[in-house]
Amino acid sequence: MSSKMLKFVNTEKAMPKKRNAETRKFDFDEIYAEFSEQKAEEQASRCSQCGVPFCQVNCPLHNNIPDWLMLTAEGRMQEAYEVSSATNTFPEICGRICPQDRLCEGNCVIEKGFESVTIGAVERHITETAFDNGWVKPIAPREEKEQSVGIIGAGPAGLAAADLLRRKGYQVVVYDRYDRAGGLLIYGIPGFKLEKEIVTRRYELLELGGVSFRLNCEIGRDFSFDELRAKHDAVLIATGVYKARDISLPGSELNGVVPALDFLIASNRKSLGDMVPAFDDGTLNADGKNVVVVGGGDTAMDCVRTAIRQNANSVTCLYRRDKANMPGSQREVQNAEEEGVNFQWLSAPSQFLGQDKITSVQAQRIHLGQPDSTGRQVPNLLPGSEFDISADIVIKALGFDPEDLPGMFNQPALEASKWGTISINWKTMQTAIEGVFAAGDIVRGASLVVWGVRDGRDAAEQIDSFIIKSSQEKIQAAE
Ligand code: FAD
Ligand code: SF4
Ligand code: SF4
């Protein structure tokens, strides 16, 4: 093993520098700085090069983490980039926004006594170094194939599939109903976690590499699904999940009770320089307001931290379980606490109060009871524990469901799972319709970027096999 490694015994874990909460809460810039070259080498050298690397096992992409850590520690950055980009289409994005505490880093074996290797930050550093040095090049396929693939959805799943298929030489067209590519990377996730230039840089590279984009094009409205199917040799559905889970309580219909994604999209569009009337007229703008966010996942954390940056008067997060049981990343909860968010754990809204407009939320305390069949303790309302929180805007952040399936695209043959997502054969990534594949949140339900990338890559491999097989069958039939 390289003498550069195994330094965890004497070298402490260090995260990249985090901007001070008092400064960062006034802008939407990323809060973590980049590792310097020397810091990245030092932190990578803490890895003990495990024989069975649990970091790799628990990375959805099974990234070859020990190898790229060793190459970084030895200063062999171009090789590190080659290894890292071989399994991950967007390493600089995953390095920034994967919940590493639940994936690679949370399973690093030195975590127990010495704190994990900072895998995500090193992954980001490797790819940023590659961009700085011009090693990240547009795709130049070895051969051009005549077959084409239509991809519905330009989120991480669709873009990862587009990248791999184009590398194999296919003519790839990505359709998206939005005016920009990136899906939730561009319009959901706020800039303080992922600056928008990082996403547009990838989009521009894909375009330069010959992937065609048809933006502002909604399949089912501008083109029928059947038209698309007739146009391409295979189709990938990567449309994500967008139907917000609702709260049905007295007062839910009051003005000022808004869905999380509307709030975040308005904020992201504003940061991108767009005209956003609902932001300018105050409907989706927290400036000077008392804000209550209901929910405890990553979306809720993005909402509370966005409201802080919009200069809200107060920001309260209501979550029905305790801090230890939050579904969101603990790192994000800590960031939100530092930025001044008031968390009301073990609390849930019981009604929204106001005439036409929300003025306050009545909430109730919760006691966690016996675990249910999923192993999670059941939240029970505590009678007589009601309390009021002043609110000018309430943001509902309770998660997302798929749109109407199987009515989607008017294709009754598309089978839905019991969760309402598209059913696929996981071996072939194919739906019940031949030549139609699906990937990302529309298959898994609301998930993670890294799983979207994984599915998109898997789907691309399966689409390639399908097209090769179909072409061979056509040739045999003609003979
Ligand atoms: P999406 O990113 O949703 O992309 C789907 C695309 O399909 C969209 O661009 C949409 O416009 C398009 N589309 C839909 N229907 C049509 C149609 N009919 N015609 C044309 N186009 C269509 N994950 C993390 O790993 N880390 C995080 O920190 C994180 N933060 C998040 C914060 C928020 C607020 C949200 C909502 C999610 C977050 N996630 C995070 C989850 C992550 O963003 C998703 O799991 C991921 O983006 C799913 O990728 P996807 O490609 O399946 O779908
Ligand atoms: Fe960790 Fe995500 Fe990178 Fe995998 S892709 S190594 S889980 S940060
Ligand atoms: Fe290195 Fe930790 Fe992975 Fe082991 S689990 S190879 S120490 S990063």
pLDDT recorded at residue 479: 81
Coil, helix or strand at residue 56: helix
CB 295 within 8 A of CB 319: yes
Both tokens of 25, joined, read 């809460």
- The answer to whether the CB of 63 is under 6 A from ligand 2 is yes
185 CA → ligand 1 middle, Å: 7
Q: State the closest ligand 1 atom to the C-alpha of 239, by its place in the atom list counted from 1.
A: 7
256, amino acid identity: G
pLDDT tens digits, the chain, 479 residues: what are they?
667 777 777 788 888 899 999 999 999 999 999 999 999 999 999 999 999 999 999 999 999 999 999 999 999 999 999 999 999 999 999 999 999 988 999 999 876 667 899 999 999 999 999 999 999 999 999 999 999 999 999 999 999 999 999 999 999 999 999 999 999 999 999 999 999 999 999 999 999 999 999 999 999 999 999 999 999 999 999 999 988 888 889 999 999 999 999 999 999 999 999 999 999 999 999 999 999 999 999 999 999 999 999 999 999 999 998 888 888 788 899 999 999 999 999 999 999 999 999 999 999 999 988 888 777 888 888 989 999 999 999 999 998 877 766 567 888 888 888 888 999 999 999 999 999 999 999 999 999 999 999 999 999 999 999 999 998 988 888 88
- The answer to whether the CB of 165 is under 6 A from ligand 1 is no
Minimal CA–CA distance to 440: which of 462, 427, 455?
Answer: 455
Task: State the ligand closest to the CA atom of 87.
Answer: 2
For 324-427, list the strands marked E by DSSP: 342-344, 347-354, 358-371, 377-381, 387-390, 393-396, 400-401
- The answer to whether the CB of 329 is under 6 A from ligand 2 is no
- The answer to whether the CB of 174 is under 6 A from ligand 1 is no
207 CA → ligand 1 middle, Å: 20
Minimal CA–CA distance to 94: which of 57, 119, 77, 68?
Answer: 119
Task: State the ligand closest to the CA atom of 95.
Answer: 2
Q: Calculate Rg over the CA atoms of the chain.
A: 23
Q: State the closest ligand 3 atom to the C-alpha of 54, by its place in the atom list counted from 1.
A: 5
Minimal CA–CA distance to 317: which of 301, 334, 339, 335?
Answer: 301
Residues 6+ apart with CB under 8 A from 224: 409, 410
Q: State the closest ligand 1 atom to the C-alpha of 444, by its place in the atom list counted from 1.
A: 52
194 CA → ligand 3 middle, Å: 26
Residues 125 and 33: their CA atoms lie apart, in Å, by 10
Q: Whose CA is nearest to atom 8 of ligand 1?
A: 183
pLDDT recorded at residue 406: 55
Task: State the ligand closest to the CA atom of 55.
Answer: 3
pLDDT recorded at residue 244: 85
CB < 8 Å & 24+ apart, contacts of 411-419: 411/225, 419/445
Coil, helix or strand at residue 25: coil
Residue 152 half-sphere exposure toward CB, CA atoms < 13 A: 29
Q: From residue 44, give the alpha-carbon distance in Å to each of 11, 121, 142, 329, 330.
A: 10, 10, 34, 23, 23
Q: Whose CA is nearest to atom 2 of ligand 3?
A: 108
- The answer to whether the CB of 441 is under 6 A from ligand 1 is yes
Minimal CA–CA distance to 122: which of 3, 16, 7?
Answer: 16
Q: State the closest ligand 1 atom to the C-alpha of 194, by its place in the atom list counted from 1.
A: 28
DSSP assignment, residue 101?
Answer: G
Ligand 3 pocket, mutate which of 69, 111, 115, 118 (most atoms under 8 A from CB): 69
- The answer to whether the CB of 448 is under 6 A from ligand 1 is yes
51 CA → ligand 3 middle, Å: 9
Residues 11 and 119: their CA atoms lie apart, in Å, by 15
Dihedral angle sign, alpha carbons of residues 194, 200, 205, 209:
positive
